[in-house]
A and B are shown apart, each in its own frame.
Chain A
């Protein structure tokens, strides 16, 4: 009795640890403590799960458990220490997949026990088993596929079939039908049907991620994050564990909110993202803005930056690809030393996952009060002397504001053209992910600085040094 009481207190404290931990995530100052509270919550729950009294045949098998805990911890710890900050989207994808896979394994064990008669499950219970297999399965293969895309192991165009969304719909309908059939037939139909259900779910996971790519990756990662949480919550119902349900739902909520935010940041519905909105087709039809492009010399650019009052840097994924965050920070330091106010304007979908750019800049020691979100940035831009754009394109496209014919019309963008002058660092005149021409490059106030981001920034840095 006392033991059960203590165990349940542990689970309760564990859940509170999660909730309090996430609450502390509301500020960068307290977030680290929050992460620690959530971690302590998890440790309490693991201890409780190890010693809690169970009904039925309990053989414990502690050797298996401790071996597995050890192997998992070592792999997890080393991958966490080793991973580069630019690869965070890949790591989060893999982790989403592992969470889903773990839920699948738990669902599978229930399927085995249901059909060999060692576990009695009612229809609703078996519905939960199928739900766990489906959500977990999609999170698993979908995330692994998303990882492969992020690592550039897969070419988006090669994996998209003609009428892909129709194929996905058919598969989903098939899953629904098969699931309903399995539930109605009960034990009579045999285990094979449940295994087929799982296999189709796994294939669906790949097929559902296949046509989505490029700039839509932040949405996909958020969505899969939510799935991995929900599969955990479903598994929690299987094990009658309130703790697992609370943890899983919190993650599900977090993933869902981020998905919605990312969709809003691109002014697209989740449906539109999943079906595949701007593929290659819209790019060709985009109106040619024409006009002349003005270039600026490194020397002029450095002088302009050095003697201005306020500079706003707009980093895009190009900056991260070029690993140019540190040089960016060096330029920031030099300008700040001369009394220039330097801020960073960060669009919600800069980078390849929510908040990615903030982490990359934090890694380069940029203090977070200098990082402005969309609204702050837009009010700061109207009074800025220079806006310098490094490796960003679609998120600074004025067409989103004033060209109803543009595919990105209505997407919230950084209004860099409100700054007194704009310098765009760019490799070439190529268009961005969405394949849309950017009238900003032809704007009166815009001057272009062509070249590789890292290369140009380091030259700019030494120019400023020599001033």
Chain B
């Protein structure tokens, strides 16, 4: 796999790639059937955004990188996210899908926690991966991009937390992307009964900016009484077209899933984030913040779908729009028949910093059950002049007052990220993007 390829990638290339990695046959078969399906399937529907001319299929499949496994070989931007080597306990760093550094604390290993790259997981924990990989939360056949993803997956992480194990420290993953590489990254997180874990990931671009594609899928499975906190900062460059689909299957009774997503890509992005609240009394909480700038076009859809009785879903989406950027914010709370006493709440707010930018907030409630509560709030507007007056009346310049208001507006996600260096990085990204 060395030459530049345009979709469709041929079967032989996919087969060779899978063989090189010594993947099990069922995985190779899934790749091949998905590749075939990709021809006939449609692109995903991004409500109110036209994505049919976007580049999802032209990229290079050669990672052009290798992992030494030495901390010192990591780039400075990765190092700034993960802190000093002596303090690192649990980390996976990958560049163009190749693992460059990996660590998991001995205690966690002994408790049966698995935190490793997907390729290693396929060889060491094949049955577990098979049980979850694109099974329930997402299917390879949903649309052209999910099938392309299944066919070409070339990076990612498998995280498994056994029953009753509470992982107290956050587990961190950093995925960097460089050049024309097409990154097909896949994350699977499984939290068994009464376990808990926090996972934080960063996507970032390195080197010169080239036309490229990122096709990212994450699946999270949360068992009875388990809690998963999933934090992410997406920060790919303006030349990378991104499809990212993060799904949560909250199947367990009283299971909880918290998302905190900082969606800071500079390129065109379609993002779907869907939480299925299946378990009785299950809880889903999604917080996303984003900044649109330049000419980028983005579509952010958050779904929480209630099946379980007494399930509770909370959506908060805040977006800042500047320059000539366009973003569509769709929030969908869907309560299925039988999900009695369910509660769905959502808030979408868009702050417009430029006359030329466009931002749409679409809160949608779809309710098939009578005995529920639900609510939504949405607004699109400029910075409140009275807030500006108040802050400036204390001596803050216009710029400084705006800065405080914007950082405050995006704080719900910044504050929810449990790793200090990642929090700081997101703060810096916001600072850089707004000014």
Q: Do A and B bind each other?
A: no
